[in-house]
Amino acid sequence: MDIYYLTLFPEMYKGVLGSSILKRAEDKGIVNYHMINFRDFSHNKHNKVDDYPYGGGAGMVLKPEPVFEAMDSLKLDNKRVILMCPQGQPFNQKLAEELAEEENIVFINGHYEGYDERIRSLVTDEVSIGDYVLTGGELASMAMTDAIVRLIPDVLSNEKSHQEDSFSTGLLEHPHYTRPREYRGMKVPDVLLSGNHKLIEEWRYEQSLKRTRERRPDLLED
């Protein structure tokens, strides 16, 4: 998979894409990350990419030309183009699973008050990572990248681990325990020490249902 980030702040991605599983996925040749600074496509001698809004009002608006020209420079036919946007569809595991099958993903990261409305004609999806407003789309596209890349085959050493994650099954995941058997008076449930795999599976499923009912009853409606 190739992932392209149209951004004014490519340096923000270094730590996240250059660490842990996202880095390993690139080292293994499963994914390539490409930074495109659309300031490089500014027509302004001071490299400005924003301007005042028509009709007046607070804040600056991202101009269309740098974003359209940055997109033209990619020369990609088959692609999902995702506009990071608090007004977009909420990001979730189902969308992460769908995007993990794409060949090319382009993230357009806004900044400032907003972007010229005509930029929307370039995109296939508008996505929000939650009902709050960030300064820019970069953190949001990094969160999405992490959720997507870990689902690509061979990225995680144990495929089963993401198949059992919260949301993948439609439920929240069951509780986990490790050694010691007892810590500060808190004991590991006996069933996990029983060695009876059928009972353990049943206990985990019941715990998943209980957690989901208590914390996210909306998931059970689906």
Q: Report whether 165 contacts 204 (CB < 8 A).
A: no
Q: Which of residues 98-117 bind ligand SAM (CB under 6 A)?
A: 109-111, 113-114
Query: Where are any strands of DSSP class E within the chain?
Result: 2-7, 32-37, 50-51, 61-62, 80-90, 104-108, 114-115, 125-128, 182-183, 186-187
Task: Select from 48-56, 84-92, 178-186, 207-215 the region that touches ligand SAM (CB under 6 A).
Answer: 84-92
Contacting residue, 86, 167, 168, 169, with ligand SAM by CB under 6 A: 86
- 29 known ligand binder: no
In a 3-state reduction of DSSP, which class is residue 183?
strand
Task: Select from 15-23, 27-35, 124-132, 169-177 the region that touches ligand SAM (CB under 6 A).
Answer: 124-132
- 54 known ligand binder: no
Percent of the chain that is helix, strand, coil (3-state, to 5): 40, 20, 40
Shortest distance in whole angstroms from residue 59 CB to ligand SAM: 7
Does position 58 interact with ligand SAM (CB under 6 A)? The reply is: no
The two counts, helices (H) then strands (E), for the chain are: 8, 10
In a 3-state reduction of DSSP, which class is residue 27?
helix
Minimum CB distance to ligand SAM smaller for 107 or for 203: 107
Cis peptide bond prior to 180, omega within 30° of 0: yes
Q: What single letter denotes the amino acid at residue 105?
A: I
Q: Interface mask (CB under 6 A) for ligand SAM, residues 125-164, using x and -?
A: ---xxx-xxxxxx--x------------------------
Residue nearest ligand SAM, Cβ-based: 110
What is the C-alpha separation between 79 and 35, in angstroms, rounded? 16
Residues 6+ apart with CB under 8 A from 217: none
Cβ neighbours, 10 Å, residue 65: 15
Active site residue ranges = 86, 113, 150, 165
- 82 known ligand binder: no
Minimum CB distance to ligand SAM smaller for 58 or for 186: 58
> What is the binding site for ligand SAM (CB under 6 A)?
84-87, 109-111, 113-114, 128-130, 132-137, 140
Please enumerate, by residue number, every residue annotated as part of a binding site for S-adenosyl-L-methionine: 110, 129-134
Please enumerate, by residue number, every residue annotated as part of a binding site: 110, 129-134
